[in-house]
Amino acid sequence: MAKGDPKKPKGKMSAYAFFVQTCREEHKKKDPEVSVNFAEFSKKCSERWKTMSGKEKSKFDEMAKADKVRYDREMKDYGPAKRGKKRDPNIKSTNPGISIGDVAKKLDEMWNNLNDSEKQPYITKAAKLKEKYEKDVADCKSKGKCDGAKGPAKVARKKVEEEDEEDEEEEEDE
């Protein structure tokens, strides 16, 4: 499975990488049926590279320079999707440019300034999540297998979020 942005330009290749690629192509032409032992092939390429003269390597250096120009040009046009940290929009709007650490401090301060009745919905939600998590962990252990991708915490959080959405819809209907 590929990682990252599929639109991101292919990385630039070094002179040695071009050399190895050429060696691989030569090998395929000679023996297309024979599979390559990667460790042996790499070792032979490395030894051959070390014994090459600067003049022989210059061809591959030129290829690497041309590829660097291509890469730099493509990267200049490439604008990756930016994934920023989520911050409280209210804090961000009243304090533009605030750091993540300062957001955490501000949220802590805001939490401490809430009275018990204002904190209660969050405490209840946290208790529901914890209870669901502990139940899911117990179920998981009793079955002897847990799916890491959809572990108990994610399943519990999703369930509570769905319940919260239902509660909000009911409140709006009233």
- State the CATH number of the domain containing residue 34: 1.10.30.10
Q: Given this model, what pLDDT does residue 59 score?
A: 93
- With residue 113 as reference, give the H or E element that holds it: helix 100-113
Can you tell me the distance from the alpha carbon of 162 to that of 125, in angstroms, rounded to the nearest whole number? 12
How many angstroms separate the CA atoms of 88 and 99, rounded? 12
Q: Give the chain's residues under pLDDT 50.
A: 1
Q: Is 170 within a domain?
A: no
Angstrom distance (rounded) from CA 9 to CA 32: 30
Q: Is there a domain that residue 174 lies in? A: no
Ramachandran quadrant class, 4 (left: phi over 0; alpha: psi -120 to 50; beta: rest): left
Instruction: State how far the alpha carbon of 55 is from the alpha carbons of 50, 62, 167, in Å.
Output: 13, 11, 74
- Residue 112 belongs to some domain of the structure: yes
pLDDT digits (tens, 9 = 90+) for 45-88: 999 999 999 999 999 999 999 999 999 888 888 766 555 555 55
Residue 103 lies in a domain: yes
pLDDT reported for residue 61: 94
Axis crossing angle, helix 15-30 with helix 38-51, rounded to the nearest 10: 120
Q: What domain range includes position 47?
A: 15-77
Residue 1 has a pLDDT of: 41
> What total of structural domains would you count in the chain?
2
Burial grade of 98 (CB within 10 A; 0-12, 13-18, 19 or more): middle
Q: Both 20 and 57 in a single domain? A: yes
Cα separation, 158 vs 156, in Å, equals 5
